[in-house]
Chains A and B, each alone.
Chain A
Amino acid sequence: MATLAGNAPLVTRRAQRRLGILLVIPVSLIMVFFFLLPLGNALVYSVVDFDGISATPPFVGLDNFREMFADDEVWHALGNNAVWIVIGTVAPIVIGLSIALLLWGVQRGSVLYRLCFFLPYVLPPVAIGIVWGWIYDPVQGVLNRALGALGLDALQRGWLGDPTWALYAVLVTAIWSYTGFAVVIFVSALRNVDVELVDASRIDGANSPSRLWYIILPQIMPVFLMVLTLTLVGGFSVFDIIFVMTGGGPADATNVIGTYSYNQAFQLSRISYGTTLALLITILSVPFAVGLNKLQRRLSLQGTGA
């Protein structure tokens, strides 16, 4: 028995290593060929001037990066990214948490409610873009008609065609589709909140804002940070919904780095410049993701320790 236990680990370790290597071969091949190689090529593209045709594009050093920092449209697009990140993070979290708090303790119909709130999140962006295009339609659109019916004719406009409003119109669509995700996550987090603690604080005379701030929020902090991380990082790399709804227009008004990069690369055949722009987003968003994830991990470890 003792000899068996003494010998097994070595033999076992060898067998585990053999199977382990065998089992990661597929994922390694796929990741290297379809991710690492193109990512490496992206770095190469950023230091040459590639138009998509030339077999030997000339080396230009850091010219693409220099152009990027001098390009006004980059700063404009980054500004739009910033607007998107701030509003697109705060709104789903606030609305999602409010709905989750309303749903907390409600039993009858709770499945149906969750179904309604979560459904937009699983729909394809293309379909979402089309339907919201109809809602924002200048003449027949549901929104303008509703405003007309309420006597708010002054507010009617072609939402997606108006440079000042288009970004916010698309943002509302994104918030609509994303909030359900926050709802479902918060609902499940609230289930683990100690209800007796909340009731005790109510008896002690704590009002609902302070109950939320001092009792509930600390208990769901890890999940809160996780939603924050996902929305923040998503805000940096936003592309699909803007691409479908406005393509960055009208007149670049809704451009974010993602759509600007796409248009440079595929419409103007400026492959290298487009790729450099895309790299910028990666460089900006990865530290955020890593930092917030670390913080979240530390908090959830504390949570289990307590």
Chain B
Amino acid sequence: MATTTQSLASLPVEPEPIRSSGRDRASAPRRRGLLLRHVVLAAMAALTIVPVLLAVSTALKNDEDVRVDPFGFFTSFSLDSLRRAWTEGNFDNYLVNSVLLSVPSTLLIIAVSTMAGYTFARLPFFGRTVLFYLVVLGLLVPFFTYMIPLYFQLRSVGLLDTLGGAILVLTSVGVSFGTFFMRAFFSDLPEELEQAARIDGCSEWQIFVKVMLPLVGSGIGALAVFTFLSTWNNFLVPLLYLPGGGYRPLTAGLYTFMGGRSIDVGPLAAGTLITILPVIVLFVVLQKQVTAGFISGAVKG
């Protein structure tokens, strides 16, 4: 069991294979094959990226062009739509709200999952298995199964339409996965480390904070990026549990904006761009962590 997760966990951190370089410099037919591969790959990559380019192109058109030819690629340039989305469309507030929702819930998920993951990996006690099954059940049951009762429950305790309530729900949605994820990282650490620290006189708390925690930094980083992206992208939680429209984030703002899709394509495109731009920037800058996070997350989950 432990060896399985260990071998699987080594997937993302493995360096680029050196041996495959032998395939790059090869005989003439092999080289032609490689060129063909590049042609096919480039065509497919271009096709994949078209919708993203469409969002950028439409957001950057001038007013007249948006009316006449909203989906022609890069036929004009203007920042008017962005300006209108920002000022009239409230996307400046939405952006702030997105940060207010995703940052605290990401931090909460990481703190709670790290603590719980450590316990489920290394600190046995009576009743732990039952709690772990609860966490696994949270991974298996789709959100919409209990989202309706949760609505009435939040209303009855006064958490509906509050920032705190929405943050807590977002946290609860991500915490099952986070716990599962961090548990796999803590399970991979060698037992000897813990014993050595204990002989050196460390308390259990010191072993956790000073010895084990620094060793799962890459896991925490991957989880942070993954969690931030999924809370940023979540629109159902704010849509359902912030019905009054206060603290409405970008995703929910976009959804409510969609009603007038044919009329106001320009600002809608600009709003879309404002919503996906942080995601794209984060994704490109932290490309390695994101993919590593998704891979190990999927493999461990």
User: Roughly how many angstroms separate A273 CA and B162 CA in the complex, as a whole number?
Assistant: 28
Contact A188 B12 (CB under 8 A): yes
Contact B204 A304 (CB under 8 A): no
User: Roughly how many angstroms separate A192 CA and B261 CA in the complex, as a whole number?
Assistant: 47
Q: Which residues of A contact B147 (CB under 8 A)?
A: 38, 278
Instruction: State whether A23 and B38 are in contact (beta carbons under 8 Å apart), knowing that A142-B71, A286-B141 are contacts in the complex.
Output: no
The verdict on B8 contacting chain A, using a C-beta distance below 8 Å, is yes
Within 8 A of A (CB), among B64-122: 69-71, 111-113, 115-116, 118-120, 122
Q: Which residues of B contact A227 (CB under 8 A)?
A: 298
Instruction: State whether A16 and B144 are in contact (beta carbons under 8 Å apart), knowing that A142-B54, A176-B48, A297-B4 are contacts in the complex.
Output: no
Interface flags, A217-247, vs B, CB<8A=1, else 0: 0000011001100100100110110011000
Q: How many A-B residue pairs have CB under 8 A?
A: 309
The verdict on A134 contacting chain B, using a C-beta distance below 8 Å, is yes
User: Roughly how many angstroms separate A129 CA and B272 CA in the complex, as a whole number?
Assistant: 10
Contact A130 B272 (CB under 8 A): yes
Within 8 A of B (CB), among A28-67: 28, 30-39, 41-42, 44-45, 52
Q: Which residues of B contact A121 (CB under 8 A)?
A: 294
Interface flags, B13-56, vs A, CB<8A=1, else 0: 01011011101100000000010011011101110111110110
Instruction: State whether A290 and B58 are in contact (beta carbons under 8 Å apart), knowing that A23-B118, A124-B276 are contacts in the complex.
Output: no
Contact B148 A105 (CB under 8 A): no
The verdict on B189 contacting chain A, using a C-beta distance below 8 Å, is no
The verdict on A281 contacting chain B, using a C-beta distance below 8 Å, is yes
Instruction: State whether A124 and B112 are in contact (beta carbons under 8 Å apart), knowing that A8-B198, A140-B71, A278-B144 are contacts in the complex.
Output: no
Within 8 A of B (CB), among A106-145: 106-109, 111-135, 137, 140-142, 145
CB distance from B254 to the nearest CB of A (A): 5
Contact A275 B149 (CB under 8 A): yes
| Chain B contact residue count (CB 8 A cutoff) | 108
> Could you name 24 residue pairs across A and B whose Cβ atoms are closer than 8 Å?
A16-B122, A16-B204, A20-B123, A23-B118, A30-B112, A30-B168, A31-B175, A34-B172, A35-B134, A41-B149, A105-B24, A109-B41, A118-B294, A119-B283, A122-B279, A124-B235, A126-B255, A127-B55, A130-B258, A131-B54, A134-B70, A226-B299, A265-B148, A304-B4
Residues of A participating in the B interface, judged by any CB pair closer than 8 Å: 8, 12-13, 15-21, 23-24, 26-28, 30-39, 41-42, 44-45, 52, 99, 102-109, 111-135, 137, 140-142, 145, 176, 179-181, 184-185, 188-189, 191-192, 195, 222-223, 226-227, 230, 233, 236-237, 239-240, 243-244, 258, 261-262, 265-266, 271, 274-275, 278-279, 281-282, 285-286, 289-290, 297, 300-301, 303-304
Seed contacts A23-B119, A184-B295; 8 additional CB < 8 Å A-B pairs: A26-B112, A30-B171, A31-B176, A112-B45, A195-B19, A233-B140, A281-B145, A297-B4
Listed from nearest, the 8 A-B pairs whose CB atoms lie closest are A20-B123, A34-B172, A237-B142, A41-B149, A124-B233, A27-B116, A116-B45, A38-B146
Residues of B participating in the A interface, judged by any CB pair closer than 8 Å: 1, 3-4, 7-8, 11-12, 14, 16-17, 19-21, 23-24, 34, 37-38, 40-42, 44-46, 48-52, 54-55, 58, 69-71, 111-113, 115-116, 118-120, 122-126, 128, 131, 134-135, 137-138, 140-142, 144-150, 152-153, 168-169, 171-172, 175-176, 179, 198, 203-205, 208, 229, 232-236, 250-252, 254-255, 258, 261, 265, 268, 272, 275-276, 279-280, 283-284, 287, 290-291, 294-295, 298-299, 301
